[in-house]
C-alpha cells in the first residue's frame, strides 16, 4: 500500500515536472541583446494634443536589412513599417510602431535551454508597441535607403490623435505576443491564425484612423508583407505527449541558431520526415502542411472606404482554432 502511494507520488511529481513549461518571456531568462533607441522600455508619453492641431499621417516603410532577413526577403520587398505623425501646428513629430521585443528571430522560434539537466523550450516572443516623440529621418529616408518610403495618408486633428493614442495603448495591451506567421488553409481565404507583426499594427492603425474620420485617397498605394504558412487545420496537442517530437522539430529548425526568416523557412521545409508544430498563445499545434507550405508576399491592403483590392480580414473566412 505504502509502496503504491510512493510510486504514485513519484509518477505525479514526474508528470508535473514535464508539464511545467517555463513561462514565456521570463524576465530573467529572456535578454535583449541590443536595446533599441527607438523602442525605449519606458516610453515617453506624447501628452494630450489640442483639438485644433493639424496633423499629417504617414505610412512609413523601410527595408528590413539583409542582416535580419537575407536576400530572399530583400528581393520580395521585406519591410519594416510604422505610422508617422507630423503635427503642423506645433512642429513636433511622432512615430508609432510594433515589434518583437527580443527581435524577430526570437519572435519566431524558441530557445532550447537546459534546466536542471533537462532540455526546455524558452519562448522570448513578446511583442511591444514602440512610441517615440520624433521621426527618425535617417531610417525612413528614401534618399538614404532607396526602398524606404513615407506615404502621405491624410490629415487629422488633435481630437483624433488623442483617440488614436488610446487605441494604440489598448493594442499594446491586447497584443503582448508577436506572431510572425499568417497561418492559412489557402492564401487570402481561410485564415487559422492571423500574424501580429509591425505590419498588422500599421494596417490596423490605418483602419482605426479610418473609423475615426480620416478620409483616404483611394489611389494611394497601400501594401504590406505577409509571411505565410499553409496547412490543414492545426490540431491542438498535449505538450507532454508530443514532448519528443516537438523537441526534434525545434532542434532541427534551430540547428543553425542564427538565421533569417528565409533560412528558417528553408530549414522547416527541409525537415520533411519530422512532425511540424506551431506555438500559438501558449499552446502547441500539430501541422499538416499544404503546398506551397510557406512563402512571403508583399501584397495590397484595402483602404477603409475604398474598393477592395487586397486581403479582407473583416469579411474573409476566418476559421477559429478552438
Ligand atoms: C533571444 O533570446 C535569447 C534568450 O533569452 C537571448 O539570449 C538573445 O539575446 C535574444 N536575442 C535578441 C536579439 O534579443
Ligand atoms: C476633428 O475631426 C473630426 C472628424 O473629422 C470632427 O468630427 C471634429 O469636429 C474635428 N474637431 C475639431 C476640433 O476640429
Ligand atoms: C518634424 O519634421 C519636419 C519635416 O521633416 C521637420 O522640418 C521638423 O524639423 C521636425 N521637427 C522636429 C522637432 O524635429
Ligand atoms: C535612426 O536610424 C538610424 C539608421 O537605422 C540608426 O542608426 C539610429 O540609431 C536611429 N536613431 C534613433 C534616435 O533611433
Ligand atoms: C506596452 O506594454 C508594455 C507592457 O507589456 C509596457 O511596458 C509599455 O510601457 C507599453 N508601451 C506603451 C507605449 O504604452
Ligand atoms: C489622390 O492620389 C492621386 C495619386 O497619388 C493623386 O493624383 C490625386 O491628386 C489625389 N487626390 C486627392 C484628392 O488628393
Pick from 60-69, 164-173, 229-238, 305-314: least confident: 60-69
The pLDDT of 224-228, averaged and rounded, is 88
pLDDT score recorded for residue 258: 61
Report how far ligand 2's centroid is from the alpha carbon of 88 (Å). Answer: 16
Residue 258, CA distances (Å) to 22, 85, 146 in order = 22, 35, 27
| β-strand partners of 49 | none
Ligand 3 neighbour 39 (Cβ under 6 A): no
pLDDT score recorded for residue 315: 58
Spatial separation of the C-alpha atoms in residues 14 and 8, rounded to whole Å? 10
**CB contact at 8 A, 97 and 136:** no
Residues 109-156 have pLDDT tens digits of 899 999 888 889 999 999 999 999 999 988 887 776 666 789 999 999
Q: What are the domain boundaries of the chain?
A: 2-300
Helix pair 261-270, 66-76: axis angle to 10 deg: 80
**CB contact at 8 A, 206 and 85:** no
**CB contact at 8 A, 253 and 237:** no
**Comparing C-alpha atoms, which of 140, 108, 145 is closest to residue 124?**
108
- Copy the grid coordinates of residue 293: 507550405
Residue linked to cell 505577409: 226
Q: Whose CA is nearest to atom 6 of ligand 4?
A: 139
pLDDT score recorded for residue 236: 95
Extended beta strands in the chain, E state: 54-63, 79-87, 93-100, 111-115, 118-122, 127-132, 149-157, 182-186, 190-193, 223-231, 235-236, 276-280, 283-287, 289-300, 317-318
Q: Is the model more confident about 240 or about 144?
A: 240
From 83, 128, 165, 171, the mutation candidate for ligand 5 (largest count of ligand atoms within 8 A of CB) is: 128
Ligand 2 neighbour 236 (Cβ under 6 A): no
Residue linked to cell 501646428: 89
Report how far ligand 2's centroid is from the alpha carbon of 211 (Å). Answer: 13
pLDDT score recorded for residue 314: 59
> Closest ligand 6 atom, CA of 218?
1
pLDDT over 70 (residue 97): yes
pLDDT over 80 (residue 89): yes
Residue 235, CA distances (Å) to 26, 27, 181, 186, 192 in order = 27, 30, 16, 17, 11
Q: Whose CA is nearest to atom 7 of ligand 3?
A: 91
pLDDT score recorded for residue 79: 73
**Comparing C-alpha atoms, which of 209, 97, 197 is closest to residue 153?**
209
Spatial separation of the C-alpha atoms in residues 23 and 76, rounded to whole Å? 35
The pLDDT of 190-209, averaged and rounded, is 95
Bond before 222 cis per omega within 30 degrees:
no
The pLDDT of 196-223, averaged and rounded, is 96
Which range among 61-65, 154-158, 261-265 has the greatest average pLDDT?
Answer: 154-158
pTM equals 0.89
Residue 285, CA distances (Å) to 58, 222, 315 in order = 38, 33, 25
259: number of Cβ within 10 Å: 19
Confidence of residue 101 (pLDDT cuts 50, 70, 90): very high
- Copy the grid coordinates of residue 124: 522570448
pLDDT over 50 (residue 5): no
> Closest ligand 5 atom, CA of 128?
1
Compute the residue count for the chain: 322
Ligand 6 neighbour 215 (Cβ under 6 A): no
pLDDT score recorded for residue 257: 55
pLDDT score recorded for residue 14: 40
pLDDT over 90 (residue 225): no
pLDDT score recorded for residue 6: 36
Report how far ligand 4's centroid is from the alpha carbon of 135 (Å). Answer: 10
Report how far ligand 2's centroid is from the alpha carbon of 166 (Å). Answer: 17
Supply φ then ψ for residue 252, to 5 degrees: -65, -45
DSSP category for residue 177 = B
Residue linked to cell 498605394: 221
Q: Whose CA is nearest to atom 4 of ligand 2?
A: 213
pLDDT score recorded for residue 67: 43
pLDDT score recorded for residue 151: 95
Provide, rounded to the nearest whole percent, the portion of the chain with pLDDT above 90.
55
Amino acid at each position: 500500500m505504502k509502496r503504491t502511494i510512493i510510486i504514485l507520488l513519484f509518477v505525479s511529481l514526474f508528470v508535473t515536472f514535464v508539464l511545467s513549461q517555463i513561462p514565456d518571456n521570463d524576465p530573467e531568462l529572456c535578454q535583449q541583446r541590443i536595446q533599441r533607441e527607438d523602442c525605449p522600455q519606458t516610453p515617453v508619453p506624447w501628452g494630450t494634443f489640442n483639438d485644433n492641431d493639424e496633423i499629417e499621417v504617414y505610412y512609413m516603410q523601410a527595408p528590413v536589412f539583409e542582416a535580419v532577413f537575407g536576400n530572399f526577403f530583400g528581393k520580395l520587398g521585406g519591410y519594416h513599417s510604422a505610422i508617422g505623425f507630423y503635427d503642423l501646428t506645433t512642429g513636433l513629430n511622432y512615430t508609432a510602431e510594433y515589434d518583437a521585443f527580443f527581435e524577430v528571430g526570437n519572435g519566431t522560434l524558441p530557445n532550447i535551454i537546459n534546466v536542471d539537466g533537462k532540455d526546455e523550450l524558452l519562448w522570448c516572443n513578446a511583442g511591444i508597441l514602440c512610441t517615440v516623440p520624433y521621426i527618425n529621418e535617417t531610417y525612413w529616408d528614401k534618399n538614404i535607403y532607396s526602398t524606404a518610403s513615407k506615404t502621405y495618408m491624410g490629415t487629422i486633428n488633435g481630437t483624433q490623435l488623442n483617440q488614436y493614442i488610446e487605441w494604440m495603448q489598448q493594442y499594446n495591451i491586447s497584443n503582448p505576443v508577436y506572431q510572425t506567421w499568417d497561418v492559412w488553409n489557402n492564401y487570402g481565404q481561410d485564415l487559422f491564425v492571423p500574424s501580429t507583426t509591425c505590419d498588422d499594427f500599421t494596417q490596423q492603425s490605418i483602419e482605426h484612423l479610418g473609423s475615426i474620420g480620416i478620409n483616404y485617397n483611394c489611389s494611394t498605394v497601400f501594401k504590406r508583407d505577409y509571411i505565410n504558412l499553409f496547412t490543414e487545420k492545426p490540431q491542438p496537442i498535449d505538450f507532454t505527449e508530443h514532448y519528443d517530437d516537438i523537441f526534434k522539430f525545434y532542434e532541427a529548425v534551430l540547428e543553425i541558431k542564427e538565421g533569417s526568416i528565409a533560412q528558417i523557412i528553408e530549414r522547416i521545409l527541409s525537415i520533411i520526415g519530422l512532425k511540424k508544430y506551431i506555438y500559438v498563445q501558449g499552446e502547441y499545434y500539430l501541422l499538416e502542411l499544404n503546398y506551397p507550405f510557406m512563402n512571403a508576399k508583399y501584397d495590397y491592403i484595402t483602404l477603409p472606404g475604398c474598393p477592395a483590392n487586397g486581403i479582407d480580414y473583416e469579411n474573409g473566412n476566418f476559421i477559429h482554432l478552438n
